[in-house]
Structure 1
Amino acid sequence: MDWVERAAKLRQWTGNGIRAPHKPLLLLYALGRFQEDADGELRYSAVEEDLKRLLTEYGPANRTTPAYPFHHLVSDGVWEVRTDRGPGSPGSGVLELRATGATGRLAPELRAALRREPSLLGRIAGVLLDQHFPPSLHGELREAVGLEQVPVESEPLPAGRRQRDRRMREMVLTAYEYQCAFCGYDGRIGAVPVGLEAAHVRWWAFDGPDDIDNGLCLCALHHKLFDKGALGVGEGHRILVSQRFVGRSPAAREHVTALAGRPLIGPQPGTNPVAERHRSWHTEQVFHGTPRPASGT
């Protein structure tokens, strides 16, 4: 059985680019806990808060209770649930899972495969990260689920799967004249730009193209905040800052909250700005909360 392929094909709602990372997050969390205790069970009432935090931080704005993936991941053949009554999940209700002492863990066949082939864990984690999250979030997500010490391997793309365009970064940085579209940062060491990155507005994992009108040149700080949903791009290509972002220091105010309502810097004339369809996807699927009013209002 190809466990990597099974992880890559988790059943979830993905119509129209809608993000549904609930099952992948639970499976990543379970892999991290397997690493700590290969035979341990995860009692729902004990891990509910951990799973809520993961969904809040890495899921879309329309949140789902962690009871949903805890119950439904069973159907993918990688997870099992037991209660005080015996094998089987009591349902996807929070109260049912709590009241019956529901516990979950990786399916027996998967646990056996992970013991036989330790590198399998990193390969499964790699495909889950690649398919559901942008690279800027991989490191901190691995840490959040306890996989930071595990080599995470990327699987070779099967024939027919689209390849990333390696020219994307250079095209986007050139279009924005090597400065952050949010703050104008343009640092270099000698002739080499440093701390500038090409951000996908619509994530590549969700069919975001490697095109200039789906890219922004951002400094490392603003790229991370953009992918976390603290920053966005609104009507008129003005910067959105989420009210959920909290920063009391002068640096946080200057570098983040003061950006609210400012127009993007760039791209240079003759270059396509961010397309509305990509901007809308990011606003609906990534940006969290309500935008702050424009700075100074």
Structure 2
Amino acid sequence: MNRIVPQDLIPGKVYPAGTDSSSHFANEPLSRLFRFGDGLRGLGNQGGIRRSMVEGRDGAPREEAFTVILDTGKQSEWRNEYDPTSGILVYYGDNQTPGKDFRDTKQRGNETFLKYFDRAYSVEESHHAPFFYFERVGNNDVRYVGIALPYVEGMTRDEVLRRQQFHHQGAGASYENLVARFTVLPLAVSGEWLVDLKTGIIGGPNEPEAWRAFRDDRSIISSDDDALDDPAVEDFSRPPRLHEGARMTMYRLSQSRFQESLLRRSSCCELCGLAVRELLVASHILPWAHSDDRQKDDPDNGLVLCDMHDGLFDKGFISFDEEGRILLTSRLDANSLRLVGIREDMTIRMWPGREVYMRHHRARFEDPLG
């Protein structure tokens, strides 16, 4: 079979429709763009949301290789909106049928949105597939805008993907549809990576660093703006640039995984025994900012404390010796100790792995009374 590598996708570049008068499908620009050889299928429908599935992995779960979303500008009851300044795309799902479950659509667009927004906001390991966002230009041509990430920094899953009721003017009845908010990265994509996605290759040399950062840590990275001034530039080697807030995104994802791990080990405050989950904190012993990648996720580098005792530990009012006995500072008098529920005979469990980190904490702990 013939190996066909699709064209590279360049932000801002317009991809024209074909000129074959005998076939409408052959002229359709997205069908022409995402054409693969070696028996691999491309995009097989004409809708605004088009899925392409991973092929060639016998026995593996059926997953999307990627999804193409197109703003046709033709929906009168709701219109997609893209703000290039903020990078936020508001894009509507594919249900417009009154009396029908909003997920039950021919091309499964809403179902795909639910799957990948849920995965983007989950700490569980799972398959992620990019969304490629295009806009219709003129009658049939399309412009590639960038990779649409099913995630917005500072917003919750329920804020970025909402179910909303609409009124179908023609039918005179209501229906439900999804309203999604994506973060769009104006990122160039090589045709070789599209082939990798179709054949299930994850993390290969053709994968853009910005996509890898999102997939691994939900870090939001953009390619260098200068590379996008000329839409004909096809340079995939420029270094990525970290968006403001990406560090906090990495922290939130790391902390979420860390917390789930520690709360599975201990369901109450290790110092006082409080078992109200909403009042428990998975605290790093060696602070996250001072930890390397392994230490950030190492359960030995953590302990579960209630809000009050976590604050005391974090600010150096208490620490623990090599046997797990509490250490106190002179900054807390007897009355303060009583008010915060601290006794001098309190202990936590200690083991060699935890003690390695606790030494760092004790080194920053002042004036122990022991």
TM over 0.5: no
Query: Which has the larger share of helix?
Result: 1
Alignment TM-score, normalising by the size of structure 1: 0.37
Higher-Rg structure is 2
